[in-house]
Copies of this chain bind each other. A is one copy, B any other.
Amino acid sequence: MQDIFSYIDDHAEEYLESLFVACRQPSISSQNVGIREMAHLVNDMFTNVGLKSEILETENHPLVYAESEGYDSVKTLTCYNHYDVQPPEPLDEWLSEPFSPEIRDGRIYARGVADNKGNIIARLSAIDAWLKVRGTLPVKMKFIVDGEEEIGSPNLKFFPDMYPDKLATDGILWEGGSKDVGGPVHVSLGVKGMLYVEMRVRTAASDLHSSNAAIVDNPAWILVRALNTLKDADGNIMINGFNDKVVPETDLERHYLEKMFFDEKATLEFFGIEKFLDGVSGYELKRRNLFAPTCNIAGIVAGYTGEGAKTVLPGSALVKMDLRLVPNQDPEEILSLLRNHLDRHGFENIELVVHSTAHPFKTSPDHPLASSVIKCAKTVYGTEPIVYVNCSGTSPIYSLCKKTGIGAVQVGVANEDCRAHAPNENIFVQDYIDGIKLIAAVMDDFSRV
């Protein structure tokens, strides 16, 4: 691999310029700004490197699909990425223009450079280096580049049924992934699922004067009573059947969880808290973070919430909840359990409105692609990666992988303080170059495992 690594170092300027080109094109999915231009740009960049690329229309923003052709290979490696970005606002907090990438103190600043253009172009550059140095690729490469990731990937779930041949692969490199600043890269092998649901209760036609509180029911009290049945005093989720399908961690996952580094002190400081929930630490803290399902109040509101006092009897109340799910919990099934639970406790008058669902998905650490990425990360970075056998967060991996059970691994070029979705989004130049090398190495290693 040394010849390819040297080539990447020698052509760092060229690969940086490709990334700059991608970052100069705005592609804000939620505002429909520059989306079609960006899809064409990605399509052209893929074609120029030698891939067979095409734009696949959806009901909204198009996908870009590309694959390598004409090289012998027994295995296929797919990259799932997205070319859309978050809006750059608030603009006045940017130190340089969001769509004019600029290097300062070893970091590249631009909207989308971390999430997710750095990874698209690093992966594409790895292919370019292979072809330039060896004239061939060790694996068949595929790209599925979403144009709607930042708005919830509403059309991605149709891909498996519409394009089964394009989906066929031996493993997927998922879009994200992060890295400690100056420290180890993270390799993530799973995500929690989610049921995001609103509980609404209306009692009166509108807010009333609170002098009526002795004779008119209060929807906020109804919500408080209902919420209180969802958890016991120790915080255990009491929805009947909620935990029935949860599968325990495997021995191998426990092994990785035990050796996983988690900086408790820095995390407490960052959160501005004195201790973690229930005072847990060590293994149990890490286990809960990655493997415990949650039932979170993301928002609650009723009545008067401004400054000072107003004597209101609310006419309606609502709570927004996100329930993070772990294998093998099914969000639709959990919704039905929640409905049954509320009805059984006499809360038939609480309406449930679902905002989004996502299935959990995880890949075993002994999946060939996971093994390859873990091994190559150590080679390229010189230190063991931190392996997350599952994540606390959510991503629509299941929507691509559910039918085939293909493994998916997250690894990428973004530093922990990359400020994705925020002003002054950035990645380190060095992490970008190392990221190209990592993908080049994985292509080689994965072809042989």
Task: Enumerate chain A interface residues (CB-CB to B < 8 A).
Answer: 192, 194, 196, 203-206, 208-218, 220-221, 224-225, 227-228, 231, 233, 235, 271-273, 276-277, 280, 285, 288-289, 292-305, 308-315, 317-320, 322, 324, 355-356, 391-394
Chain B residues, CB < 8 A from A322: 210, 213, 309, 311
| Further pairs besides A211-B324, A309-B320: 16, Cβ < 8 Å | A205-B271, A205-B272, A211-B392, A211-B394, A214-B294, A214-B324, A215-B285, A216-B276, A218-B297, A296-B311, A297-B302, A297-B314, A298-B311, A299-B302, A300-B303, A303-B320
Show 20 A/B contacts (Cβ-Cβ < 8 Å), sorted by A.
Answer: A194-B311, A205-B273, A210-B294, A214-B288, A214-B324, A215-B276, A215-B280, A221-B227, A224-B224, A228-B228, A272-B315, A296-B311, A297-B314, A299-B310, A300-B301, A304-B320, A305-B318, A308-B355, A309-B322, A309-B355
Alpha-carbon gap, A196 to B355, bound state (A): 35
* Cα distance, A228 to B355, chains bound together (Å): 27
Among B205, B214, B228, the residue within 8 A (CB) of A289 is B214
Residues of B within 8 A of A305 (CB): 299-301, 318, 320
Minimum distance in angstroms from A295 CB to a CB of chain B:
8
A210 to B196 alpha-carbon distance, docked (Å)? 11
CB distance from A322 to the nearest CB of B (A): 5
Least Cβ–Cβ distance between A9 and chain B, in angstroms = 36
CA distance A224 to B299 in the complex (A): 12
Chain copies in the assembled complex? 2
Checking B203, B228, B289, B311 against A196 with a beta-carbon cut-off of 8 angstroms, the contacting residue is: B311
Q: Which residues from chain B contact A315 at a C-beta distance below 8 Å?
A: 272
Knowing A216-B276, A217-B277, A224-B227 are in contact, say whether A303-B310 is a contact too (CB < 8 A): no
With A and B bound together, what is the CA distance between A318 and B312 in angstroms?
Answer: 15
Q: Are A303 and B311 in contact (CB under 8 A)?
A: no
Distance of A245 Cα from B210 Cα, bound (Å): 22
How far, in Å, is A228 (CB) from chain B's closest CB? 4
Docked Cα-Cα span, A194 to B213, in Å, equals: 12
Residues of B within 8 A of A225 (CB): 228, 233
Question: A280 contacts which chain B residues (CB < 8 A)?
Answer: 215
A303 touching B313, Cβ below 8 Å: no
In the complex, which of the residues A203, A276, A309 has the most CB atoms of chain B within 10 Å of its own CB atom? A309
Contact B210 A296 (CB under 8 A): yes
Centre residue among A216, A295, A310, A324 by max chain B CB count within 10 A: A216
Residues of B within 8 Å of A233, CB to CB, are 225
